[in-house]
Amino acid sequence: MKPQDGAGSLLLFVAPLLLPLGFASELTAVTCGSVIKLLNTKHNVRLHSHDVRYGSGSGQQSVTGVTSVDDGNSYWRIRGQTYTVCERGAKVKCGQSIRLMHVNTGRNLHSHHFSSPLSGNQMLRSPGFAEVSAFGDDGEGDILDDWTVLCNGEFWQRDEEVRFRHASTSALLSVTGEQYGRPINGQREVHGMSYTSLNNYWKAMEGIFMKPSDAPRTDFTHSEL
């Protein structure tokens, strides 16, 4: 099965369990299993990916920022960190590690020690910028897919600006002022930054949010997370 096929099937499978955004206004926390867009509040672009690979570095699927609100390639599903289960509807805690799976291709948000394609020349200096890519097949990759949610309070709130720190490299998910040319003309570079700045802030936007569970479930036999 191709990753794209798997991702499409996944959406059909979970659709009956999702709570549409219009009916979820009373829910304040971001929850596992939700499918959302993430807005970088500094550059006003949404986290985006597509089946276009980097021409250098890892050669993995590229991750960018786009200004379009309606682009269907900007949806990400919130899942538990590698080798763990995050129950559908469970509130994401501040300090919790998660995976963000790109819905249309089934690959996870990923980083490593490759330098970022446009700002990578600064890797020779301090601080350095790391490549951010999408990796894996049908939602399964490796521990380099894990990101820790940095926020205030107990849970990640939907109206809160948060940061995502790569669990293995400690780089912060960020957007730069660099723009790509063809074939992704105008899209912004997304990279891992080693220090905090306004470039690292993200906010949950459009999407479908899973309703928080009233009580924890103990049977994970059919869980897809």
SS3 120: helix
pLDDT band, very low/low/confident/very high, at 13 (cuts 50, 70, 90): very low
pLDDT band, very low/low/confident/very high, at 128 (cuts 50, 70, 90): low
Residue for token pair 């849970």: 155
The maximal CA–CA distance of the chain, rounded, in angstroms, is 50
Model confidence, pTM: 0.80
Is pLDDT above 60 for 148? yes
Sequential DSSP letters for 132-158: EEEE-BTTB--GGG-EEEE-SSSB-BT
Q: How many Cβ atoms sit within 10 Å of the Cβ of residue 20?
A: 10
Better pLDDT: 117 or 16: 117
Mean pLDDT of 34-47: 97
Is pLDDT above 60 for 26? no
Contact 46, 68 (CB under 8 A): yes
Token pair for 111: 């980083």
pLDDT band, very low/low/confident/very high, at 185 (cuts 50, 70, 90): confident
Per DSSP (E only), the strands in 21-159 are: 35-40, 45-53, 61-66, 76-80, 97-102, 108-115, 129-135, 147-150
Token pair for 144: 């380099």
Residue for token pair 């993995």: 60
Residue for token pair 């276009």: 52
Is pLDDT above 50 for 159? yes
Domains of the chain: 3-209 (2.80.10.50)
